[in-house]
């Protein structure tokens, strides 16, 4: 399936981070692109500035016979009017994961998956390949300042892609190489339990002859095959290992060993032990493709993060504002710890918006322990996710008594906000000079970070 066979492509849910990358790819191939979404966003605005026509009402009239390909976000319901019209007109129709799977067959595809760290690992791997003059195409679930937002268009046969695990979407891909960052309980509105998650990833692993995986993660270690490339910090059996991790002046460093031999020191501008693991994953990929270690060092040292991944947005009233996508309890806790390590002298103010009813309820016990290390917490109401209809309901307010007890937050230092307006008001009332304000969540809470800087 070559992109150039299409002349007019329509994207429903074009504001999604993955769907918008595909829209950009078609646009850069000189193909007419249009689309729709139900709400405006910075992504929508950027696409419109490129000249892409976007409808903010999803109606039948938007779909015409001239359209020869219809791609929709998994967030779209099956009673979506545009989708029904496209199917009635017999326009080829694919979900984003399905079409990404078709695209992966046209390239030498490197897929990066796991519960956490996919975007950062994909971005770093792409930058290493660029440094090595391998000119890959990269599709990442974030935005990288040296890319065209969430896309890098390359001319080589390499496609480096973030492989989302939600609803087993990674199984649509046909990769030549897979890297797995970590694995734990998540998306329990689809998966039954950790056994079910591992079964899906086992099927994914079988798609390739060799996989790079994090051997420090027990779930992945149990899936490792003899031929696979392993990386880690604690497990001495890891082929690729980080040792002697240090933090100095808002940077972290580690010595990288491959097969027991010191390759050199890696310097990172991004914090957290989780980012050491993400870096090791990108090194494992680069090592498999025989990229020189000096190229890896250069690309990794220059990388300063991507959109909503411990992103330094700016300063507000002499407080440092950071936006992060963390929405799983493990990620929330790790991000707070990373902030404390890089900025030990700052008071850490956390504004967190839980993401999706099901996740908040099923992982409640993990969430209530995940705020240790924060000095002040503002808990915004749960973000409702389009396309994921939850029968169960839970309010963020219900978590507060248990957070006080388990995360050791004083009662006067934790607040509930019914919506983002109230969240911002509470921030304005509590931010002090020299604070680090960590605004976390996968929903629309990032808008607060941008608005604070705009108000400065």
- Residue list for the binding site for ATP: 114-120
C-alpha dihedral (113, 119, 124, 130), degrees to nearest 10: 90
Please tell me the distance from the alpha carbon of residue 371 to that of residue 405, in angstroms, as a whole number.
11
- Nearest alpha carbon to residue 231 among 222, 241, 221: 241
- Residue list for the binding site: 114-120
In the 3-class helix/strand/coil scheme, how is 251-271 assigned residue by residue? EEEEEEEECCEEEEEEEECCC
- Residue 434, token pair as written in the block: 């020299």
- Nearest alpha carbon to residue 100 among 196, 26, 201: 26
Residue 266 · residue 281 · CB < 8 Å: no
* C-alpha pair distances (Å), 357 with each of 11, 75, 205: 27, 15, 30
**Residues making up the chain, counted from first to last:** 456
| Residue 175 neighbours by CB under 8 Å, 6+ apart | 104, 109, 110, 111, 161, 163, 207, 208
What b/e readout covers 223-245, taking b as 16+ CB neighbours within 10 angstroms?
bbeeebbbbbbeeeebbbbbeee
User: What is the DSSP secondary structure assignment for residue 148, as one 8-state letter?
Assistant: B
Please tell me the distance from the alpha carbon of residue 58 to that of residue 425, in angstroms, as a whole number.
34
| Residue 150 neighbours by CB under 8 Å, 6+ apart | 17, 18, 20, 21, 24, 139, 140, 141, 142, 143, 144
């Amino acid at each position: 399936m070559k992109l150039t066979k299409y002349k007019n492509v329509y994207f429903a849910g074009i504001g999604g981070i993955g769907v918008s990358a595909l829209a950009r790819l078609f646009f850069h191939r000189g193909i007419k692109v249009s689309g729709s979404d139900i709400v405006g966003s910075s992504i929508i605005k950027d696409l419109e500035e490129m000249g892409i026509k976007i409808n903010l009402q999803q109606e039948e009239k938007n779909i015409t016979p001239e359209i020869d390909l219809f791609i929709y976000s998994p967030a779209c319901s099956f009673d979506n009017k545009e989708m029904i019209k496209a199917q009635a007109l017999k326009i080829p129709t694919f979900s984003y994961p399905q079409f990404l799977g078709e695209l992966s067959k046209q390239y030498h595809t490197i897929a990066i998956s796991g519960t956490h760290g996919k975007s950062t690992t994909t971005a770093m791997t792409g930058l290493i390949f660029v440094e090595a003059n391998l000119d890959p195409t990269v599709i990442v679930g974030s935005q990288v300042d040296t890319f065209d937002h969430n896309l890098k268009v390359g001319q080589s046969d390499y496609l480096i892609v973030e492989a989302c695990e939600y609803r087993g979407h990674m199984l649509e891909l046909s990769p030549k190489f897979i890297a797995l960052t970590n694995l734990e309980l998540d998306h329990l509105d689809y998966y039954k339990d950790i056994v079910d998650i591992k079964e899906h990833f086992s099927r994914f692993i079988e798609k390739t002859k060799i996989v790079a995986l994090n051997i420090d993660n027990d779930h992945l270690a149990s899936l490792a095959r003899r031929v696979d490339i392993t990386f880690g910090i604690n497990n001495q059996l890891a082929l690729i290992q980080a040792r002697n991790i240090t933090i100095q002046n808002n940077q972290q460093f580690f010595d990288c060993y491959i097969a027991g031999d010191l390759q050199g020191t890696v310097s990172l501008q991004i914090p957290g032990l989780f980012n050491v693991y993400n870096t090791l994953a990108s090194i494992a990929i680069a090592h498999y493709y025989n990229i020189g270690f000096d190229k890896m060092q250069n690309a990794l040292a220059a990388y300063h993060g991507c959109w909503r991944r411990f992103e330094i947005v700016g300063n507000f009233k002499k407080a440092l504002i950071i936006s992060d996508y963390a929405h799983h309890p493990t990620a929330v806790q790790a991000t707070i710890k990373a902030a404390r390590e890089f900025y030990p002298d700052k008071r850490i103010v956390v504004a967190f918006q839980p993401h999706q009813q099901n996740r908040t309820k099923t992982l409640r016990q993990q969430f209530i322990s995940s705020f240790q290390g924060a000095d002040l917490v503002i808990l915004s109401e749960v973000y409702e996710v389009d396309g994921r209809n939850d029968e169960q309901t839970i309010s963020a307010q219900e978590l507060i008594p248990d957070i006080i007890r388990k995360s050791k937050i004083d009662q006067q230092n934790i607040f509930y906000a019914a919506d983002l307006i109230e969240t911002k008001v509470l921030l304005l009332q509590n931010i002090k000079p020299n604070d680090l304000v960590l605004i976390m969540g996968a929903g629309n809470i990032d808008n607060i970070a941008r608005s604070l800087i705009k108000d400065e």
